[in-house]
A and B are shown apart, each in its own frame.
Chain A
Amino acid sequence: MKMTRLTAALAVTMTAAAPAIAESLFFPNMSYRTGPFAAGGIPFADGYADYFTLINERDGGIGGVPIRYSECETAYNTERGVECYQALRGENPLVLQPLSTGITYQIIPRAARDEIPIHSMGYGRTSAVNGEVFNWTFNYPANYWDGASVIINYLLDENEGSLDDKKIVLLYHNSAYGREPIPTLTRLSERLGYELLTIGVDSPGQEQGSQWLQIRRERPDYVIMWGWGVMNSTAVQEAANIRFPMENFIGVWWSGSQQDVLPAGMGADGYKALAMHGTGTDYPVYDDLQEYVYDRGLAAGTGDEVGTVLYSRGMYAAMLAVEAARTAQEIHGVANITPAMMRDGMANLVITEERMAELGLPDFGPPFEVSCQNHGGSGQAMIQQWDASAQEWNLITDWIEPDRELIMEMVMEDSLAFAAENDIEPACLN
């Protein structure tokens, strides 16, 4: 009897609680605010959280449904990332932002089984561009192979269309992430005639003496860096130490934040990096963030990271998630969407210049369209250069196109091999 009453009470409680849980859109963040890479994880997480807070405070949520936000700490550790995934999967997360290539690789098959979308923005498995194989993974607006190709196209532009006889070093984080651009740069070297030398740096990358001695001996024309965390700041310092011309040293977008250049002081002046979005607070959206988030004491962080490169990236990721949720609501005609509906929204996302301006982020990111077949966006990026005196990044190019023909060729090779290994029949879900 007692048991029956208890069960009945539980059922009543759960029924009463259910609408409260259901009537919110759950956007968790697999963040890292602790550990050796916290300096990069904190501003991203703050930007991601603050944008969702803005949408709740200003608009009352998306389509009238409030956003529920939570963080799961991964410490940029793959095992802990997988634990976070296991903890979150039962809560119907609309989209997961793993913020680590290692974690992304691990959860791609799990998320596909559980039908949870992943957005690995500018990281993760590059061949996830092929939406017919990776139905649940999206990596718009750009991926690593796009980044490598954009750098080479920029260098072509700098060298009057020829990289013949040039020597380029790739200094990479010795991990799945760091090795991602090697196939693209190798293919492009065969096509364009430059000599490619790859030099690995073991994680975390505090000691790079041997690598920079080798670079000094090899006398390359350019050094491209695929680093993260302390590897970046150490490399910038070492480059300054050996007097490598900083304007010939170009990092990927994960090697182009304030944290990477500030420790080297004036030595970092002139260093360049890819930018997949704008930076700084000179966008109208910051007026709203000030009014609805910062002034109300609702900011996720302390405020000193606002407008930095990684804060901007977190905010951009949240903005793209909100736009995909809106698209999903329009497609399905319901406000309270499911992860599967969110996937449809992501697969049909259209970002135009007009929409970016409406959102208070004019020219912040490139216009792009996602489709069922192509989850990769435009692939465009800009080049930014560090001004050490003013302590700011300046954009020095417009959006640069990658060699999309080559990249799609490589994407198809890699994704179809993955499909064959995993018995996946490539097809669209909708």
Chain B
Amino acid sequence: MPDTLLFAMEAAANGLTAGVMYALVALGFVLIFKASGIFNFSQGVMALFAALTLVGLQSGQIPFAHLINAIFGTRLHYFGFTLPTLAAIAGTVVVMIVFAWLVERYIFRHLVNQEPIILFMATIGLAYFLEGLGDLMWGAEVKRLDVGIPQGMSLAVDETTFNWFGYGFYMDTLELWAALIAAILVGALVVFSQYTKQGRALRAVADDHQAALSVGISLRFIWVLVWSLAGIVALVAGMMWGAKSGVQFSLSLIALKALPVLILGGFTSIPGAIVGGLIIGVGEKLFDFFMGPLIGGATENWFAYMLALVFLLFRPQGLFGEKIIERV
């Protein structure tokens, strides 16, 4: 097999796992948009906040220590004990649920029936508030996140592909784990929405707010539920991206990677987020492989948006999105 083909196959395989990482971020957007029609600008910052909270709980960091020290002249930083990873994850889930409740109670309850652009603007404000809160609570320094997921070259993939092709493919073990976790997450979301009462209520609200309200479904409860789910998805995304390059404030920018995925997959489809992620991941890796050396490289960021733009021209609702027909 020619080397170029082998290298292209390796790039495509890496694109698939990178695409899953993008899809993890996109899933959070989809959940909230589907249930409430809100494009949640703060989803990236939620991933950052969840990751900061996870590391903070894991390492026994005292929240708001900098503020406490500045006011009272103390030198507090850590409680002196650390939490096991699972306990820290559980604690973070609780924090994200409380956050969802606060968002519903203090922001969206007051914005019911407002125009989508107003709701979108509210999420922009929320993003800046949450970023500042994260800084105040946990500090701005770069933190190492270790949740026990192995990183580095997958020896199994290397050996297998070497036996098949005489060339060992590189794949990051962390990204393979991310693919597995994403599959479990999507499976759990599907089971939840198909087979539980709350899940069916969520789908009913997603289909028609008015009809759902008329049969007694609490819109407020659904909003808390869906923001909690988005918070949990943000935690998973923050965990994976944070383990990859450390937990730092640029983590919030992973949201930029999700936008082309959403345009491709559709804003209302969970499978669409996954398929969109895979297409973007493979597309950008192959484009960079073939065209990068000719045009100076660094094509990944803009290529994803260019691909999304092409899709917009031919299928504005995305691959799996609902076609919106408005009659006048």
Question: Which one of A42, A198, A234 contacts B140 once the chains associate, using CB atoms below 8 Å?
Answer: A42
Stretch from B80-88, B108-116, B269-277, B282-290 that touches the partner: B282-290
Stretch from B27-35, B118-126, B207-215, B238-246 that touches the partner: B238-246
Contact B249 A237 (CB under 8 A): no
Q: Is A209 an interface residue when CB atoms closer than 8 A count as contact?
A: yes
User: Nearest CB to that of B75 among chain A residues?
Assistant: A303
Q: Which residues of B contact A201 (CB under 8 A)?
A: 298
User: Nearest CB to that of B246 among chain A residues?
Assistant: A263
Alpha-carbon distance A305/B254, docked complex (angstroms): 27
Alpha-carbon distance A37/B253, docked complex (angstroms): 11
Taking A33-B140, A42-B141, A206-B251 as given, write out 19 further A-B residue pairs in contact, using a Cβ cutoff of 8 Å, ordered by the A residue number: A34-B132, A174-B297, A174-B298, A198-B297, A204-B253, A206-B250, A206-B254, A209-B15, A209-B285, A210-B284, A233-B142, A234-B244, A237-B245, A259-B246, A262-B144, A263-B143, A302-B65, A302-B69, A304-B141
Contact A210 B292 (CB under 8 A): yes
Interface size class of B (residues with CB under 8 A): 35 or more
Residue interface mask A28-45, B partner, CB < 8 A = 1? 000001111111001000
Contact B249 A36 (CB under 8 A): yes
Alpha-carbon distance A264/B244, docked complex (angstroms): 8
Stretch from A81-89, A134-142, A240-248 that touches the partner: A240-248
- A209-B285, A233-B248 given as contacts; is B140 within 8 A of A214 (CB)? no
Contact A200 B296 (CB under 8 A): yes
Q: Which residues of B contact A174 (CB under 8 A)?
A: 297-298
Q: Which residues of A contact B252 (CB under 8 A)?
A: 36
User: Nearest CB to that of A235 among chain B residues?
Assistant: B245
Q: Which residues of B contact A106 (CB under 8 A)?
A: none
A228 to chain B, nearest CB (A): 10
Contact B141 A259 (CB under 8 A): yes
User: Nearest CB to that of A37 among chain B residues?
Assistant: B250
Contact B244 A237 (CB under 8 A): yes
Q: Which residues of B contact A199 (CB under 8 A)?
A: 297
Give 9 closest A-B pairs by Cβ, nearest first: A263-B246, A200-B298, A36-B250, A234-B245, A202-B301, A210-B288, A174-B298, A230-B250, A259-B142
Which of B66, B293, B300 lies at the interface centre, i.e. has the most chain A CB atoms within 10 A of its CB? Answer: B300
Alpha-carbon distance A77/B252, docked complex (angstroms): 16
Contact A241 B153 (CB under 8 A): yes
B81 to chain A, nearest CB (A): 19
Q: Which residues of A contact B141 (CB under 8 A)?
A: 39, 42, 259, 304-305
User: Nearest CB to that of A203 among chain B residues?
Assistant: B301
Q: Which of A204-261 contact B (CB under 8 A)?
A: 204, 206-207, 209-211, 213-214, 216-217, 229-230, 233-234, 237, 240-243, 259
Q: Which residues of A contact B289 (CB under 8 A)?
A: 210, 213-214
Q: Which residues of B contact A264 (CB under 8 A)?
A: 246
A234 to chain B, nearest CB (A): 4
Alpha-carbon distance A264/B246, docked complex (angstroms): 8
Contact B246 A262 (CB under 8 A): yes
Q: Is B172 an interface residue when CB atoms closer than 8 A count as contact?
A: yes
Q: Is B100 an interface residue when CB atoms closer than 8 A count as contact?
A: no
Question: Which one of B132, B142, B296, B298 contacts A263 once the chains associate, using CB atoms below 8 Å?
Answer: B142
Q: Which residues of A contact B140 (CB under 8 A)?
A: 33-34, 38-39, 42
Contact A267 B250 (CB under 8 A): no
Alpha-carbon distance A37/B250, docked complex (angstroms): 7
Q: Which residues of B contact A240 (CB under 8 A)?
A: 152
Q: Which residues of A contact B143 (CB under 8 A)?
A: 263
